[in-house]
Amino acid sequence: MVLNTLHHIVLEPFTVPLLPETAFAHSPLFMVEVDDEKTSSIDSTIRSWEKAGLMRSKILLQVPAYGMEQLLLNASDHSVGSPTEEEYAIIGQAELCQRLKYAGTVREIHWDSMSVNAYSTGGRWISIDDQQTVNYKMRYSLREGLAGVGLMSLNEDDHMGTCGSGAFPILRSIAAKCH
**What is the pLDDT at residue 170?**
94
Angle at 100 between CA 44 and CA 178, to 5 degrees: 50
Lowest mean pLDDT segment, chosen from 63-77, 103-117, 135-149: 103-117
Q: Are 128 and 67 in contact (CB under 8 A)?
A: yes
Domain with 160 in it: what CATH number?
A: 3.10.50.10
pLDDT at 171: 95
* Residue 158 pLDDT > 80: yes
Write out the residue range of the structural domain in which residue 58 sits: 2-177
Instruction: List Cα–Cα distances, 150 to 33, 69, 133, 147, in angstroms.
Output: 27, 23, 14, 10
Counting the structural domains of the chain, the total is 1
Name 106's Cβ contacts closer than 8 Å, sequence gap at least 6.
118, 119, 120
pLDDT band at 72 (very low <50, low <70, confident <90, very high): very high
For residue range 78-87, what is the model confidence (pLDDT) as tens digits? Answer: 888 889 998 8
The rounded percent of the chain whose pLDDT value lies above 90 is: 45
Mean pLDDT of the chain: 87
